[in-house]
Amino acid sequence: MSILDKIVSRKKEWVESQKQLVPLSALQKAEMYQRSPLSLSSKISNGEGSGIIAEFKRKSPSKGNINIKAEVVEVTQGYQQNGASAVSILTDVDFFGGSDQDLITARKQLSIPILRKDFIIDEYQIHEAKAMGADLILLIAACLTPAEVSSYSNLANELGLEVLLELHDDEELEHICNTVQFVGINNRSLKTFDVDVQRSLRMAAAIPSQYIKVAESGIDDPAQVRLFKENGYQAFLIGENFMKNTDPGSALGEFINQIKL
C-alpha cells in the first residue's frame, strides 16, 4: 500500500466520523457558509500580485516535522504582508499536523483567498470547506475518477468555490473539466514522494490555455519560478521552502524580491 493509499483509507474513516459529529445541516448553518468567497482566478488572470500560493504546513509524510510549533495566524499574516496572492492551509490531521480550526482561525485574519489543502474524497468535505471560510479547494486526480472530479468541482462552483485540480502525469489529463479554474502539476509523486521539478515543464503544453497553470512542490529557487513563467505558469504553490524558516513570511518576501531580479 502506497502512502497515498494509506492517507485515502484513513481519510474515508475520518470523513465518516465527522459526518456523525457535525451533520451537513449544521455545516450549512455556519456563519462562514453564508459568505461570498474571494476569487483567486480573477486576481491572477488580471496579472495582479506575485502568483504565489504560500502554504502553511507543519509536517508531511515525506519530510517529517517541518515547523511543528508554527502558529497559523503569525505565519499566514506574514505571508499576506509579504506578498502572497493566496494562502494554502493543510487541514489533514494525521499526516500533516493540520486542522480545520487552522483555516477557520486564519480566515478571520486574512483578506486574501485561502485554499483548503486536503484529500477530498467526499462531497461532505466540500461543504466543510465552505463552512470553514475557504475560497478554493484542491482535488487530487490520483485519488479521484474523472467523473468524481467533474461532480465535486460542479458542487464547489455551485457553492462559490474555485477548484485547483492537481495532476501528476499525462494519464491524469483526462480529469480536466470545464468546472476547474486551476490545473496544477505536482512535482512530487504522491506514491513515492520523489521530486522532479521538470514534471511541470514537461506537462505545461498539455494543459489547455483556458486554465490557470500552477506549478506545485519542490520549488526552492526564484530562478525556477522565472522558468515556469516562461512556460505559461501563472501561479506557484510553495510551502516547505518557507515553512522551514523561523520567519516564513520574511522568507516569502525575500523570495519574491529575488524573482524580480
Strand-pair partners of 87:
54, 114
Instruction: Give the whole-angstrom CA distance, residue 223 versus residue 210.
Output: 25
User: 66, 243 in Cβ contact below 8 A?
Assistant: yes
What is the tens place of the pLDDT at every residue in 76-123? 999 999 999 999 999 999 999 999 999 999 999 999 999 999 999 999
pLDDT in tens, 181-207: 999 999 887 666 777 888 899 999 999
Kindly list the catalytic residues.
55, 57, 117, 166, 186, 216-217
Could you tell me if 130 and 33 are in contact, meaning their C-beta atoms sit under 8 angstroms apart? yes
For residue 113, CA distances in Å to 55, 104, 222, 260 come to 12, 13, 23, 23
pLDDT at 21: 97
CB 247 within 8 A of CB 78: yes
Q: Which domains does the chain have, with CATH numbers?
A: 3-259 (3.20.20.70)
pTM of the predicted structure, to 2 decimals: 0.96
* Dist CA 232 CA 229 (whole Å): 5
Cell reading at 28 = 450549512
Residue 217: predicted pLDDT: 87
Phi, psi of 185 (to 5 degrees): -110, 115
Question: How far from the centroid of its chain's Cα atoms is residue 192's Cα?
Answer: 20
pLDDT digits (tens, 9 = 90+) for 2-57: 889 999 999 999 999 999 999 999 999 999 999 999 999 999 999 999 999 999 99
